[in-house]
Each structure stands twice: as structure tokens, then as C-alpha cells.
Amino acid sequence: MGNDRSGTGAETASGPGYALLLAAGPAGKQRLMDAAAALPQLAAVPPAALLGTPGGASVVQLVDPADPQTVLTHLRTAAAHPGPVLVHLAGQLTLDAKQRLPHLALARTTPRTARYTALPWHWLTAELGRRPPGSTVVVADLVADETAWPPLRAAGPSGLAAGLTLYGTVAPAPPKRGAPPKRGMATPDYSRAFAGLLRGAAERPPLALLHQRAALEAGLGSGPELLLDGAGPDEAYPAPDAAPGPEAAGWAGQTGPAEAAGSAGAAGPVAVTPPRMPLGPPESFLSADPRPAPPSPRPPQPTHAPLPPPPRRAPVADPLAATHAAIFEAANSGRHSEAASMAAAWEQEALRTAGPRSDEAIHWLEVRADLSRIAGDPARACELWLAVADARLGNGEPVGHPEVEGAVDRAHHQWQFVQDRARAGALAPPLMELRSRVPGRKPGALEAVRRRAELLRAPARTR
């Protein structure tokens, strides 16, 4: 899954390369790193040296994007490239407030809106993880904010690296100093050192060696920062000194579902007997996609085989963590019926024990909607997100609540990919009714539904 055992990275692939250089961060006082300062030095590196491809390379720079979907589009372009690919990330990590999953903060990200305005890390791993082994490298120069650093520090580098050949560093946010206390801004020293070494080299050295030299030149390794040394998912990192607490479980499970699932991995169908539901929806909704993306044009491919957990790894605290991991591992391996059956069983248990409008039941509706998206059934995903929105509104949540807006936005997004005219036409009235009540924050959403509904009602053109 994009892993390089030899330490040479994308050199194992042939043909012209493709590099995506992304520098991102929130505006104003929330920004923790001068991420854009990493790009001038990287842009000065000859493309062939940056990728290690004598045939040259295309280099795309993306500075302070505001929309996760924009970044996703660029990631998909990179993932579709037939030759070697390098993705460089400079910026800051945060957790979304609800599911506590890692996100790369973008221009409009705030602590309360990260789930909707930041790039989920598992989008990155999902898109790049489908590429052939040895063809893809991710280089990261990141700062983790106060929400992200403790679980990442506990989980260790594997909290981000599963499924990726990942080099670089993650550091805690700079401390606040002075009176009144003000936080300094981190600088992308690793990126600068990485670029400087490439500019001075006759040919690109192996990435493992390049990483070591860049970290040394940037003065890293003796502080609290984590160094990401390109270890693959079956090259387990040593367990950290302190066993991870409950907050770290979601990180480890989200990036390595097989680890949390244990014996319920890819080997065969998973039988799930639902235990008693917890009082609230679980935080580790392990592989759910917080914001929808168009169905992948490529069928899901199986991930690597399940691995035993690293030594001294604490058990998953959330009783549903392994369940979510098993469900989404099945879905991402193409076993969609199995995943849907497991989610439906849990939904029935939630309906029986907590009621049809409970948080637990709504949570499993959301899981089923995301499973439909993964299975490439946008019509069913749209129906389920409409049901989620209706349930939340029925519970008295205001039309401007982020969860309500998010459900309607996802329903609208999936509806746009319904190709069957009859099904799309049947979904248009309920979507239009909800859009009239929940217009969302993007201007013209209701009018867009109306325009497409009119086109669907018109007779289909014949050739």
C-alpha cells in the first residue's frame, strides 16, 4: 500500500513523476506554523531530483486551501498518476471535536469546525494507499495542536503512518511565553533541510538516508517531536514508553483497522454479537468519512493482512472500536454485504435498547450511509443521509446545527452522483424539501437542486 521496503521510495517506479506540495493552516491566531515558508525551497529543487526520476516530473503547489474537497481533488489527481508520486505536507494537525480523528487544518478551520473544514487524515491514506507498492512517498513537516498531540504522542508514529511510506516530523505546538502569554510560530525547518540537501546532491539519495540527514540538519531528534522514518505497516514501530490511554485508541484503530479488529480481520466473515450499547455515540468512528466524497472510480482493494498489535499496546478502551474497525475493514476490502449486515445488526440493537430517535440509532444510520458511499451506491447513501437529517430535526436540533447541515450537505452531495434518472428524480422532492429548510452555508444549493430536478423531469435525449 504505497510502502517501500528498500528505503529508496518512489525510485522503484518508473516514468515521469508527480509531486504535490501542500502548505496549509488556519488563518489568524489559530495558525501554529508558517507552513508556506516550506515551499520556496522545495520549488527550487529540480523536479527530477525531487522525485528521483530522470524522466522529469510535474510539480503542483497548493497554498492555504480552504475546502477539503479541493485538496481531495488534488490528492486523487496524484493518486491516478501512473509514475512515482511524492506528496509533501506542511501545516498542523488537529482533532475534530466529535469523533476525535486526526485532520490537517485548512484555511477556514477552527476548533469547533474541524470536522467540516479540515482534511481528514484517513482521506489521504485511502487515496494514496490504493497505489502500487513502492510508487508513493509522503513527506510531512507538521505541528500538532493541544488536541492532537497527546493521543499522537501516545500512539507513536504508527498513529499516522499506517498504509503510507511516511517520512518527516510531527512536533507539539510551540509553547506560549510572555505576559500576556503569546504563542510563537513554528518554522518548517525539516522541509528546508530536506530541500537544501536535494539541491546540493548530484542525485537523490535513498529517502531513509535523506530523512536522517534532514532531521539532523534541522536539529531534530533530541526534543519531544516524533520522527517518521518510513516504516511500513508490517514494520511495526516500538511501543512508546507510556502505554496509550483511551484517547489514543481511536488513532491506532483509525489508521490500522486490522489492529483493533484482532481476529476479526480480512480472513473471512465477521460474526458480531452486539453487547450492551454505551450511553452515547462512540468517539472512535474509525474510518467514517466526515465529509462525503464522490464514489471512487476504482473498486476498493483489500488492505494488508491483519497484524498482531505491537508489544505493550494497551487494549482498546471503547467497546465499539473493534466493531467499527471490523465493519470498515470489510467495506474497504469489498465485502460490502458483510459490512452492511454488521451495521444493520447494531442499528437494530440500538433501536431496541434506545429507541428510533436516539443518538445511538442515528449514529448507526450515519455508519450505514457511509458504507453505501464506499460501496458505490450514492442513491442509497443519499436516502440514509436524508433519514439522518430528518431524525435530527425531529429531535429538535436547529436547522443551523452543524450535524443537521452536514447530513443535508452529504445527502445533496451523494444525490449529484446518482446516474439513474428515475432514482435521482424520486429523491429530488425530499431533498428539495430539506434544502428549503436547511439551505446550508454554500450559496445557491437549493437552486442547484431545483435546476437538476427540472432536467430530470425533461424527456431524456436520444441519439
Question: pLDDT tens-digit profile of 49-66?
Answer: 888 887 778 899 999 999
- pLDDT in the model for residue 311: 36
**pLDDT greater than 80 at residue 5:** no
310-363 pLDDT, tens digit each: 333 343 345 577 788 889 888 888 888 888 888 888 888 888 888 878 888 899
User: CA dist 424 to 75, 252, 442, Å?
Assistant: 28, 38, 21
pLDDT at 90 over 90: yes
Compute the C-alpha angle 139/140/146, nearest 5°.
Answer: 165
Query: What band does 278 get if pLDDT is binned at 50, 70 and 90?
Result: very low
Buried b (16+ CB within 10 A) or exposed e, 371-401: bbbbbbbbbbbbbbbbbbbbbbbeeeeeeee
Question: pLDDT higher for 13 or 262?
Answer: 13
Which percentage of the chain shows pLDDT scores above 70? 75
Contact between 381 and 373 (Cβ < 8 Å): yes
Q: Find out whether 393 and 436 touch, Cβ atoms under 8 Å.
A: no
Tens-digit pLDDT profile for residues 284-297: 223 333 334 433 44
Which of 157-171, 230-244, 330-344, 350-364 is the least confident region? 230-244
Inter-residue contact 152 to 144 (CB < 8 Å): yes
6 has a pLDDT exceeding 70: no
As a whole number, mean pLDDT of residues 134-144 equals 93
Indicate the residue type of 261: A
Residue 199 above 60 pLDDT?
A: yes
Give the Cα separation of 130 and 1 in Å (integer): 6
pTM of the complete model = 0.53
Q: Which residue has the higher pLDDT, 155 or 245?
A: 155
